[in-house]
Amino acid sequence: MESETFVILVADRDATVGVISSMLLSSALATEHAAVNVRVRVLVEPEIITVLDEPELPEEIRKIEEQAISATTSDVEVAKLIVAFSGLDAQKLHELRERGIAAPAVNLCQFVDTLEGVARESSSTGVDVQEVIVGVALQFGFSGGSSVCSICEVKDSENIDYWVSIADTCSRFAQTVQKMRS
């Protein structure tokens, strides 16, 4: 396992989506033999996290024990990747850029397809997974990625299939990261 923690910030334009998706992503990446030491944090204030009305979620998602954790200043300063699911929060992204945070920002539901393609095509011997993820995210952004995708477009937090799609995206991302290291 690589020693440096890979901090992922969730900066979703919808606080509820951001909080729940950060739990899903954190849970997907929290494995005993993880390829990368990852810390997922959400750009939602702790007091807002505690009062958000949780939509009806599938039982499998409700059972997840990972908690959404608000990003601290130190998390923000060392962030390597910024993700969203229902679309990036432009205001939060602007604030991060104003603070000098240069981590690439992507809609994970679209980015995971690109990352899977890179993982299939490349040899994983001796790769720095964190560098590969950041590099692919930068290329993804430069090539016009992170527009509105089908998951984002349908955003219906009351629809169970919406949450299943986000959980699937998180799982695919975690599996791809793991494959890049094995």
Report the mean per-residue pLDDT for the chain.
86
Average pLDDT of the segment spanning 44-57: 89
User: What is the edge-to-edge ordering of all strands in the sheet holding 38-42?
Assistant: 38-42, 6-10, 79-84, 105-107
Task: Report the alpha-carbon distance of residue 50 to residue 45 in Å, rounded.
Answer: 9
CB 135 within 8 A of CB 118: no
113-171: pLDDT as tens digits: 999 988 887 765 667 888 999 999 998 876 655 555 666 666 665 677 888 889 999 99
pLDDT of residue 2: 47
Class of the CATH domain delimited by 6-181: alpha beta
pTM of the model: 0.90
How far is residue 29 CA from its own chain's centroid?
Answer: 10
Count the residues in the chain.
Answer: 182
Q: Which residue has the higher pLDDT, 147 or 65?
A: 65
What is the percent of the chain with per-residue pLDDT over 90, rounded to a whole number?
53
CA 48/CA 78 separation, integer angstroms = 23
Mean pLDDT of 1-30: 89
For residue 1, what pLDDT is reported? 42
pLDDT of residue 180: 81
- Between helix 108-121 and helix 129-142 the angle, nearest 10°, is 120
The domains of the chain are located at 6-181
Mean pLDDT of 74-102: 94
Classify 160 as helix, strand or coil: helix
For residue 163, the model assigns a pLDDT of 87
